[in-house]
Structure 1
Amino acid sequence: MGGYVVRRLLLLVPVLLGVSLVVFAVMALVPGDPALAILGPYATPERLAELRAELALDQPWWRRWLGWLAGVLKGDMGRSVSLERPVADAVLERLGPTLLLAAAALMLGAVLGLAAGLLAAFRHNLVTDRLVTLSVLLGISLPPFWLGLLLILLFAVWLGWLPASGMVTPWLTEPGAALLTADVLRHLLLPSLSLALVAAGVIGRIGRGAALEVLAADHIRLCRARGLTQRRILLVHALKGVLARVMPVIGLQAGFVLGGAVYIETIFQWPGLGRLLVDAIAARDLLLVQGGVLVLAAAYVLVNLATDLAQHALDRRTAAA
């Protein structure tokens, strides 16, 4: 186990270096003059030259990347032109709400997806199996932003049960810890559900196949021969094997959830990193976009590392992979 963890941690170094290079290269390939886009068409040539020198736009791209990477390793991602503050401070300030939204959506999607997959496998070739499969296919097909708008219309506009935007109620003055937590959870439910339903569809689809495979294994047949109930077989003896097979899919869905947070946060006015990136792209704030995308990509890589370690803990045979 220790050797596997060390190997996985060492692989993070080239992966994160590659991520930083891709992020920087994509931003460098954006057409147009970033300095002109930031200052506007009425900027003086002197001010344009000053901003280009400040952003190192007068240097070769590889030298700019190395300089930016050296700063990132020191915790300095540069200074945001649009916000007039350090990029690291702005990104870390918005990272918490995004991680909260992504974690809630991923956990909710994993629970719903596993439950749907196990139920479909348990009722294989019955009406329940077909209904769950249809629901899973619908979940995969629906775009999260469209689903979010439908949830707002239903639960916020028509029923008035849940808030439509924000992270906390603005007029909630000096709330206690319990009241504030409950208020955040109420605001969190709709955006996390918008992402979770799509993730649950993918996880449920894979989980059904994994559950059917596990339920056909020899040790499960032995459990049936011993007279164990189907529920006990499913929850005690089969669940671990299903989790080991579904865990990589959950890791992949973490990337979908983090990427989907960009537009879900915009729809629900959630004060996270995704919404900050949308504003930074509109302002052509290159350093802010690079820093935000790098942090999101690093979070995705770390989540995938965690899912790989969890899969290895559930099934040691994955060490050979």
Structure 2
Amino acid sequence: MESTVKKNSNTENNTTIKTTKKTSKKMKKFLSYAAFVGPALLFFIVIQIIPFFMGVYYSFTSWNGVSSAVEWIGFDNYKQIFTNDPKYYDSFEFTTKFMFAAVVISNIIGFTFALILNAALKTKNVLRTVFFLPNVIGGLLLGFIWQFIFVRGFSAVGDLTNIDFFQLPWLGDASTAFWGIVIVFAWQISGYMMVIYIAALQGIDTSLIEAAKIDGASLYQMITKIIIPLILPAFTICFFLTISMAFKIFDLNLSLTGGGPFNSTQSVAINIYQEAFTYNNYGVGSTKAIIFFIIVAVFTTVQVMVTKRKEVEA
């Protein structure tokens, strides 16, 4: 009897010790995860989540952004925007056109750079740095630099060469100002896209390319039939990034044209900024921001779904 009792007690002690060890291991894992993820999660909640829900709340109010009086007005702001705010629709039209042009041009340039620099060039590392460098420069600074180039630099070159391209009123006319912003955006962001495409290209099995060359495939056939289908996930990422960046353009637009001439190049972000902080209609500005968020979220979600389906088909 005594031996049986001792065995049972020893078994219980061993079980308790094992349970305690497992609990301590789980606690250590939790604390290590919390130490690494906790600060980032806290900042994300404070900087992103809380302001977002505050914006949703203020979109149903009439508030000037300064006074303590916040009046709940329900869906009046939404009704006003959908029925009587032509400037908001104009800014959406400009932003949508800009997005399509910027996405196509940026990805073509980035993919072309990636194809060139993926080859065995002696200067490829230097060129990668040079092409990526514009992405490091801040948008406002970049805009002011290109504003000087468009206004003073192009004018000086045009006077010397009499080439019509350099004599255009790049930031003074609606059509040329539009393409001026597209050029600067593509110049800034194409290097970033290039890096993603290079990473994808380096994952391709070189034996496939060599076999295609032996079979007599042209460069166009290798790009369209082999390379692009194999790196479609990279296109999904690049399209998502360029679409979201182009939709949310603010700093380049502000420093290059400020939305001019005559609001012809005013992006949605600038329209929201002016509504909230220039005209002191914080409630209406929040409403515009929420509508803008929903449209961008739907657009990017559809884009990812479509391109992911293409990946599966390929």
TM-score norm. by structure 1 comes to 0.64
Aligned: 1:188 with 2:178: yes
**Structure 2: gaps of 5 or more residues:** 1-47, 156-165
1:100 maps to what in 2? 97
2:295 maps to what in 1? 299
**SS of match in other structure, 2:78:** coil
- Residues 26-65 of structure 1: matches in 2 within 5 Å? 26=55, 34-35=63-64, 37=66, 52-53=70-71, 55-56=72-73
1:198 maps to what in 2? 188
2:254 maps to what in 1? 266
The structural deviation recorded for 1:142 is 1.8
2:146 & 2:211 partners in 1: Cα distance? 46
% identical aligned pairs: 10
Residues 1:155 and 1:88: Cα distance change in structure 2 (over 3 Å): closer
1:245 & 1:101 partners in 2: Cα distance? 22
Q: Is the 8 A contact 1:145 1:263 kept in 2?
A: yes
Q: Which amino acid aligns with 2:169?
A: P
1:263 & 1:196 partners in 2: Cα distance? 14
Farther-moved stretch of structure 1 (20-29 vs 152-161):
20-29
**Structure 1: gaps of 5 or more residues:** 1-18, 39-47, 57-66, 169-183
1:303 & 1:248 partners in 2: Cα distance? 14
Q: Is the 8 A contact 1:248 1:307 kept in 2?
A: no
After superposition, give the CA deviation of every residue in 1:247-276 in whole Å (9 maximum; x if it has no partner). Answer: 2232123222222x2233322133322221
After superposition, give the CA deviation of every residue in 1:149-173 in whole Å (9 maximum; x if it has no partner). Answer: 22221122222234353552xxxxx
Q: Is the 8 A contact 1:251 1:303 kept in 2?
A: no
Q: Is the 8 A contact 1:140 1:199 kept in 2?
A: yes
Q: Which amino acid aligns with 2:305?
A: L
Q: Is the 8 A contact 1:203 1:250 kept in 2?
A: no
2:196 & 2:64 partners in 1: Cα distance? 47
2:169 maps to what in 1? 163
2:275 maps to what in 1? 280
Aligned: 1:222 with 2:228: no
- Residues 252-263 of structure 1: matches in 2 within 5 Å? 252-259=241-248, 261-263=249-251
Residues 1:128 and 1:20: Cα distance change in structure 2 (over 3 Å): same
1:148 maps to what in 2? 143
**SS of match in other structure, 1:206:** helix
Q: Is the 8 A contact 1:136 1:201 kept in 2?
A: yes
Q: Is the 8 A contact 2:102 2:185 kept in 1?
A: yes
2:172 & 2:79 partners in 1: Cα distance? 29
1:119 paired residue among 111, 116, 119: 116
Rg: which structure is higher?
A: 2
Q: Which amino acid aligns with 2:285?
A: V
After superposition, give the CA deviation of every residue in 1:86-142 in whole Å (9 maximum; x if it has no partner). Answer: 565442232101212222222221111111111111x13x23522431223203212
After superposition, give the CA deviation of every residue in 1:36-85 in whole Å (9 maximum; x if it has no partner). Answer: 737xxxxxxxxx97xx44x44xxxxxxxxxx44xx7xxxx60447xxxx9
Residues 1:88 and 1:217: Cα distance change in structure 2 (over 3 Å): farther
2:273 & 2:65 partners in 1: Cα distance? 19
2:127 maps to what in 1? 132
Q: Which amino acid aligns with 1:264?
A: L
Number of residues paired by the alignment?
246
1:99 & 1:138 partners in 2: Cα distance? 27
Aligned: 1:77 with 2:78: yes
Q: Calculate the aligned-residue CA RMSD, in Å.
A: 3.4
**SS of match in other structure, 2:250:** helix
Runs of 4+ in 1 over 6 A off after TM superposition: 19-22
1:79 & 1:166 partners in 2: Cα distance? 32
